[in-house]
Structure formats: C-alpha cells, structure tokens
C-alpha cells in the first residue's frame, strides 16, 4: 500500500506500525514491519533535490499550483475547515463510547496522530514552507493523509446513528444523507 499511494498511506501505515510497537513487546513478532519501513527509507533517497533555497521554494510553489486544495489545508473552504476541527471533538466523544479496549487505544492513537499531522502539515503549508522549503514534505499531503481518520469518523458516526433509539425512518434518512451528500473533510476539486 505505501509503495503505491504514499500521499494517503503514510499516516495509516505509520499509525498502525506505532500501535503494533506499542502493543507487541517482542521484537521477533515485529519483523513483518521491516518491508514498509525499508520501502520508505529506500524511496526517500530516490529524490535528489538540490540544496538551492530558491529552487526548492519554486518546486513547492509548483506543487501548490498543481495539487492546490488536495495538499493544502488553508486553501479549503472555511466551512470544511470548521467542520474538520469540530470533528476531532466529536471523534473523541465517539471513542469514549467504544467498548473494545484495543480498538479504543488504536482510535486514540489515530486521533492524536491525525490531529498532529493536520496541525503540523497545515502550519507548514501555510507559513513554514517559506522558511524551510521541501517539496517532499508538501507532497506528503496532510489533507490526503486524513483518509483513515475520515473513514473511521464516518464509520463511527454511522454506527452511532444506526444504534440510536431514533425511528428507523429517521436513521435511514441520516445515513442516506451522509452518503448522498458526499460529505468530506476535503473540498471537491474541479478537474
């Protein structure tokens, strides 16, 4: 997965690796994690970028022009960003209602890493790229990296709507509205 879609996969794979390291204390049982880690290491060395500041800044600007809203949070619609920030609190509340302790721990790790990635990625692509331009950091795309967070958010939202005591008709309307409207934390990009 990480070899094919690194823009989306780096956060889910990283969160899963950290969770496995946290849960599994025996080093011999963690040997299966070497291929993705080795892949990241090998891929990171395959992009020689000159150390010229202006050249790197120009590359970052090219990435911004090409990918626009797909890589940068501050270019998203204000309402999308507000909903995204509120979703962290809602996700936290959802996690507290989960009964499975191991799933709860994984979701807390995912919540923390997603918030950290959104914060650091958002600040970097809004301000700090001008001080330390590195197109590889922009290409990690903090917006696309939220895919696993978004998946679990809407999965938990759907679960709690379905398991609520509301009328079946009302639950069906809410679930249908979620999927028909195409609600997302990323604004739709015009092709």
pLDDT number for residue 91: 92
CB-based burial label for 146 (10 Å; 0-12, 13-18, 19+): buried
pLDDT number for residue 88: 93
pLDDT number for residue 46: 64
Q: Are 97 and 170 in contact (CB under 8 A)?
A: no
pLDDT number for residue 189: 47
pLDDT number for residue 190: 47
DSSP state of 49: -
pLDDT number for residue 178: 65
Q: Are 4 and 99 in contact (CB under 8 A)?
A: no
pLDDT number for residue 191: 42
pLDDT along the chain (191 residues), means of 10: 62 81 73 74 69 88 83 82 90 92 92 92 89 84 83 84 75 70 54 42
The whole-model pTM stands at 0.76
Q: Are 101 and 166 in contact (CB under 8 A)?
A: no
């Amino acid at each position: 997965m990480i070899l094919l879609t690194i823009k989306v996969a780096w956060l889910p794979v990283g969160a899963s690796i950290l969770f496995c390291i946290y849960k599994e204390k025996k080093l011999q049982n963690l040997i299966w994690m070497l291929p993705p880690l080795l892949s990241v290491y090998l891929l990171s060395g395959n992009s020689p970028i000159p150390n010229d500041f202006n050249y790197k800044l120009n590359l970052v600007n090219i990435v911004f022009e090409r990918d626009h809203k797909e890589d940068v949070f501050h270019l998203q619609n204000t309402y999308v960003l507000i909903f995204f920030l509120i979703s962290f609190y809602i996700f936290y509340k959802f996690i507290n209602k989960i009964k499975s302790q191991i799933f709860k721990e994984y979701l807390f790790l995912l919540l923390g890493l997603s918030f950290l990635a959104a914060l650091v990625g958002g600040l970097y692509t809004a301000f700090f790229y001008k001080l330390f331009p590195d197109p590889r950091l922009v290409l990690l795309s903090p917006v696309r990296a939220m895919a696993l967070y978004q998946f679990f958010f809407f999965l938990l939202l759907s679960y709690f709507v379905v398991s609520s005591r509301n009328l079946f008709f009302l639950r069906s309307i809410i679930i249908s509205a979620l999927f028909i409207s195409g609600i997302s934390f990323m604004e739709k990009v015009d092709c």
